[in-house]
Structure formats: structure tokens, C-alpha cells
Structure 1
Amino acid sequence: MVFPHAGGAAAAYRSLAGALAAGGPDTFVMQYPQRADRLAHPAPDTVEELAAQLFDAGDWDRVGPLRLFGHCMGAVIAFEFARVGERRGVPVAQLWVSASQAPCTIAGSPRLPTADTEVIATMVDLGGTDPRLLADEEFVELLVRAVRADYQAFNRYACGEDVRIRADIHTIGGRSDHRVSEDMLRRWQIHTDGAFTLSLFDGGHFYINDHIDAVAELVNAA
């Protein structure tokens, strides 16, 4: 199961989902409210509420031990999804964290911007969005709407250092990511009672776009 980044739609992870499914079990990509076919769906107030809604949308106990993959904010949503699953008796085997700070560090971090111009500037800084799309006013309007909803939920999030899941946590990042460093990825280790690994690829925050097959191979080999 793949959890997109803030503002990201499921379609952006179609290639990764296909690569994961080619070498492993069926792969589902989550679609958050306020985008694509869920444009009219109201945005949850919190990350925890979003994770619970996503969990309630499927019969995950029929899928078998779950393997979750989240990029950036998607990793935190996946972490909360795993907590819901473990509380409800649905086994979660692995959480794959891509380019994300640890849950316990979020409350103490600077708040994410929600003003239009600041949201756009952040998207440009992070990369991962085709510059040609940023010249499309209609696309930018929809993107800002989705990102703002996600950022508002993220800004309300808090998690203690003592909160852990039983699932193994595997972190992945880009060596030149100026937003999420190797040390930030390592902080995830305190959130698992299972195994922990860290892997780095060449590239920045959206390193994954250049290493889809390699990332899928790493995940499927675990």
C-alpha cells in the first residue's frame, strides 16, 4: 500500500505501484480527499483522522500482513494507519518510510505554510512537480487546495517518542535531500519494536522518481 506525499494524488505513484506489484503482491495507492476523484470529499482535520478513514475504506484483514510505503507526509499517515491496524488486529509487517522526518519530531518543527504563494514556493523548492504544470493556473489552484488541506492536518500532528509499532521500519532517502537528512531518517528507529534499516539513493527529496525500479526491488526483497 502506497501513501502519497502532501498534495500528491494516487496517479503520481502509478509507476511505483506497478513496479512493486510486478515483483510482489497486489499494490494499492491511497487517494486522499481534495484531489482527483475525491475532489469534493471534505479534508480531515488531523492526520490520525485521515489514517482512520483510509483504514475504514478497505477490508485489510483479507489482504494478509500489510506492507506500507509512504513518501514524505505519506510516511506519517502510513505510520498512523499501521497504529490503527495493530489496534484492530490487522497484522502490519513492514513500514517503508521515504524522505520523511520521524513522527516525534513534527510538533517541534516549524509549521508548514498555508498561504497560496508560500505553498507554491514550497512545492518548487521540494521539486517533484513538473514546472510546466506550475504554469497552469487551474492545476495550481487544485494543487494548492490539496496541499493546504494536508499541511493543516500535519501542523496539528503530535506524537511522543514512546509511541511504537510492532512492524519493522525501513527508511529510505536521497543523499542530497535538503529537507530530510540521514539523521532525521534515523530518528524513526525509536518508533518500532521490530527491525530498522536505512538506505540512501542518489538524488534529492524526490529521489524516488529516478530510482523506481531499484526502490521496488529493495522493498520486494525485504
Structure 2
Amino acid sequence: MTAAHHATLKPWVKHFPPSSSPGEPGAATVLFPHAGGAATALRPLATALSTQGADTFVMQYPQRADRLADPAPETLEALADELFAAADWRRAGALRLFGHCMGALVAFEFARRAESQGIPVPEVWVSAGQAPWTVAGSPPAPLADHEVLADMVDLDGTDPRLLADPDFVELLLMAVRADYSAFNNYSCDRNVRIGADVHALGGSDDHRISEDMLRGWEFHTDGAFTCTLFDGGHFYINDHIDTVAELIGRG
């Protein structure tokens, strides 16, 4: 990654430079967190990926952390536009994308924008997320405070001790509502495809995103499709960081 490219990065794009000998010159991996998640949620995966010799970037969405005052985009498409404009990705070479939960949809939309600009995207890794064409027909995500908190508990991705902290809960609600509102406004036809290979990942015990739902992603690629399940629930990834990083790195 060149110094010129670094100069184009928004400060809220978290960069994890290679910590080992560089792999393919110009290769880069871009990570997209789950709904309500800050960039720190994917720090362990970014760290693991950076040891494989490629530049890794984690996106920070508005309404959290160092973007607390930034307005929330009304749609996932608008969020993807904003994230794509955060750097001159043409200077990064080929892009590998990874998104967890709602982040899988954002990664898909980001890939569409990259491909439209002639930026090579060989692979998109979609983790514990439903396929784009299924969103419009699914129940809307909750927006009332008590329903959002119940949803967070059900997903089992937030430390219960943090949910007992009123200050943390206030910030969490702000971030989740922003993301859920954008999710509720999202729609995509089943015939919308990207050229990138799509690799779906999920937890075998995830009661929210089943294997059949993961396989719905096959409609959205003109390339190869794979589906891999790991032991665990919706946040299976927390117990399989190294394995997931190896899969992405090998891709």
C-alpha cells in the first residue's frame, strides 16, 4: 500500500498493515462489521489477517465510536456509497471483502460499486447474513428500545455486563437503530449478481441464519459459490478467528 493511498483514507477507516512478509502485491482485505458493531468488533480478525502479509482495513459505520456525530445513512446502499468514497480503492489493487451479519449486505453493495469502477474483487466472504434478495420479504428489524435490547440478547453477541451499563446501552441503541433503519429500507432483486466468488460462512447452531439462508447467496454471483459451517451460533466467528482468517487468506 502506497503512502499516496494512505493519504486518501478517511481517519475512521482502521488500517492493519502487514505484520509479516507481504503476499501478493497490492492485495487488500476490507472488513464490514455487524449491525450495531464498531470496528473494534473485527479487530481480532483484522489482526489475524494482517499476519498473512496483506493490508487489512476495517470500516467504521456512523453513529458510534469516533463517528458518533456522523449522520446515519438512510439505506444500506447509501452506507456503501459512503464507505466506498472513504478511499481511492483503485490504488489498493484487488480487494477481498468480508462482512458479518448486516455487514455481509454492505460488503455485497461495496463489491457492486467496486466492480462498476473496474476495481477487481475476486472474493466476497459473507458471514452469518441473509442473502440480499431475501431482505425485502423478511420481517423488519426492531426499532423500539426494548425490542432492540431483546434482539441483542437473543443474538448473544454482547457481554451481559455491558448491557447492565446505562451509558453503554444508550450508545448501543443509537448505533443499532441507525443500522436497523438502513436495513429495513434495503431491497435487492434476486437477479442482481456480482462477478466475485461468494463464500458463505455461518454457525451450525445459529437460530437466526440457517444453512438454507446462507445458500441463498448463490443467486448473487456469476463466480464460484461455497458454504461452510462452523460450530457455534450467530457469533461463531469469535471462536474461529484463525481458521476464518486462513480461509480468507487462502482464497
- With CA pairs under 8 Å and 6+ residues apart, which has the higher RCO, 1 or 2? 1
- Band of TM-score, shorter chain: over 0.9
Task: Determine the structure 1 residue equivalent to 2:11.
Answer: none
Task: Determine the structure 1 residue equivalent to 2:137.
Answer: 108
- In structure 1, give the amino acid aligned to 2:229: L
Q: What's the TM-score once normalised by structure 1's chain length?
A: 0.99
Structure 1 runs (4+) deviating above 4 angstroms are none
- In structure 2, give the amino acid aligned to 1:194: G
Aligned mate of 1:91, from 98, 120, 132: 120
SS, match of residue 28 in structure 1: strand
User: What CA distance in whole angstroms lies between the structure 2 residues aligned with 1:30 and 1:85?
Assistant: 15
Aligned mate of 2:207, from 172, 175, 178: 178
Task: Determine the structure 1 residue equivalent to 2:63.
Answer: 34
User: What CA distance in whole angstroms lies between the structure 1 residues aligned with 2:34 and 2:47?
Assistant: 18
SS, match of residue 110 in structure 2: helix
User: What CA distance in whole angstroms lies between the structure 2 residues aligned with 1:176 and 1:214?
Assistant: 18
What is the 5 A alignment of 1:131-210? 131-210=160-239
Moved more, 22-31 or 197-206: 22-31
Task: Determine the structure 2 residue equivalent to 1:73.
Answer: 102
User: What CA distance in whole angstroms lies between the structure 2 residues aligned with 1:20 and 1:46?
Assistant: 29
User: What CA distance in whole angstroms lies between the structure 2 residues aligned with 1:30 and 1:24?
Assistant: 19
| Unaligned stretches of 5+ residues in structure 2 | 1-29
Task: Determine the structure 2 residue equivalent to 1:126.
Answer: 155
Task: Determine the structure 1 residue equivalent to 2:14.
Answer: none
Mapped contact 1:24–1:220 kept (Cα < 8 A) = no
Aligned mate of 1:2, from 8, 19, 31: 31
User: What CA distance in whole angstroms lies between the structure 1 residues aligned with 2:53 and 2:77?
Assistant: 28
Aligned mate of 2:91, from 30, 43, 62: 62
* Bigger radius of gyration: 2
Aligned pair count reads 222
- In structure 2, give the amino acid aligned to 1:162: N
User: What CA distance in whole angstroms lies between the structure 2 residues aligned with 1:132 and 1:24?
Assistant: 36
CA RMSD, 1 decimal: 0.6
Q: What's the TM-score once normalised by structure 2's chain length?
A: 0.88
